[in-house]
Amino acid sequence: MADTDEEIELQSASIATYFVQHYYTTYIEKTPCMNSSQTGHMWLMEILKGHESRCYSMFRMEKDVFIKLCDELEANYGFKGSKRMCALEILDVLKPPDPEFKDVPEEILKDSRYMPHFKNCIGAIDGVHVNAIIPPEDQVPFVGRKGIPTQNVMAICNFDMQFIYAYAGWEGSAHDTRIFYTALRDSTSNFPKPPQGKYYLVDAGYPQITGFLGPYKGQRYHLPQFQRGSKPTGYKEVFNQAHSSLRSVIERTFGVWKKRWKILRDMPSYPYQKQVKIVIASMTLHNYIRRHAKRDRHFEKIRDNPYYCVEDQTNIEDEDETARASNLNEMDNTRDLIAASLMRYN
């Protein structure tokens, strides 16, 4: 009797877990990582290389780290296509630490700008473009608003600047709304859907549907607009400023991630699917550093300067017609209640 799809998936996951554990104990677990005097990128390289007396030459080059990690997982687990989440999720790194989102994020709980107004917010969603190396005859779909071939990646982060989901591999011309709906409807993508009453923050490029809270349209929104102009006036601008300030965590996370990994800014001419896996691998390593490094210069800089390596988002295109057609719904009411709450505290 043939195995069911569910049984095959479970067997594949078990095999993958075994090989990941084997990979970790063989190549990574060499010296207690917290005993290291290194920080950030150097600390990660030391973990991957092990002690100097037992250094593996395959990890001498930053690019080789990603390729080895991707190939190891691909060989033993399988990669199901450029628009599917990479198997690196089985490392329990690129997923929510609290899958049920029971607790109020500490960053909201301890900040009077956001508490209690955004107590049910669990993260932020946005898209990011990564340079892609594409043969000239195939470049057209990959050339979007940046004017060069890119890979469009949708990601979700929590307020600790960790990626909890990534949907990579889309052409640069693909609109964020299309990617969002495809990820949401794809039962195999493991999209961490918000529980009832919880929501993610999104910008105007995404539809405002249950579980996804956007700003008021037609009002000032991006933080530079408030910094260069007068203070917010009216409940809509007050809400938009708070929403933009809280949602900027995804822009800061993208900024730190791109700043750290040079390979994302100067992508080698690998086959496209391997470029997709490099993106996912680098996000996973980003999370690993965030969770375990005692000190890291990029995260320290973002702590001292919230706008460190954050791109100005004021010229990003608005939502498409699908998003504009959104009618009044549950999230409109949620937004109005938060705006009223913010006005009472101001």
pLDDT tens column, 99-132:
999 999 999 999 999 999 999 999 999 999 999 9
Q: Show the tokens assigned to 108.
A: 């909201």
| Residues 6 or more apart whose Cβ sits within 8 Å of residue 167 | 83, 85, 153, 154, 155, 179, 182, 183, 189, 191
Tens of pLDDT along 168-205?
A: 999 999 999 999 999 999 888 889 999 999 999 999 88
pLDDT in tens, 239-261: 999 999 999 999 999 999 998 88
Whether 4 maps to a domain, the answer reads: no
Q: Is residue 276 part of a domain?
A: yes
Domain ranges, residue 301: 96-345
Per cent of the chain over pLDDT 90 is 43
Task: Calculate the average pLDDT of the chain.
Answer: 76
Question: To which residue do tokens 């996370």 refer?
Answer: 253
What pLDDT band is residue 139 in, cutting at 50, 70 and 90?
Answer: very high
Which pLDDT does position 100 carry in this prediction? 94
- The fraction of the chain above a pLDDT of 70, given in percent, is 66
Q: How many domains does the chain have?
A: 1
What is the DSSP secondary structure assignment for residue 149, as one 8-state letter? B
- Asked whether residue 160 is domain-assigned, the answer is yes
| pLDDT attached to residue 111 | 95
Tell me whether residue 39 is in a domain.
no
Q: Residue 47: inside a domain, yes or no?
A: no
Q: How far is CA 185 from CA 178, 179, 190, in A?
A: 11, 10, 10
Q: Two tokens at 217?
A: 């349209």
Instruction: Count other C-beta atoms under 10 Å from residue 198's C-beta.
Output: 16
Half-sphere exposure of 216 (CA within 13 A, CB side): 20
Q: Is residue 278 part of a domain?
A: yes
Cα 81 from Cα 159, distance rounded (Å): 30
274, 70 in Cβ contact below 8 A? yes
Q: Is 43 inside a domain boundary?
A: no
| Residue 36 forms part of a structural domain | no
Residue 123 CA to its chain's centroid (Å): 10
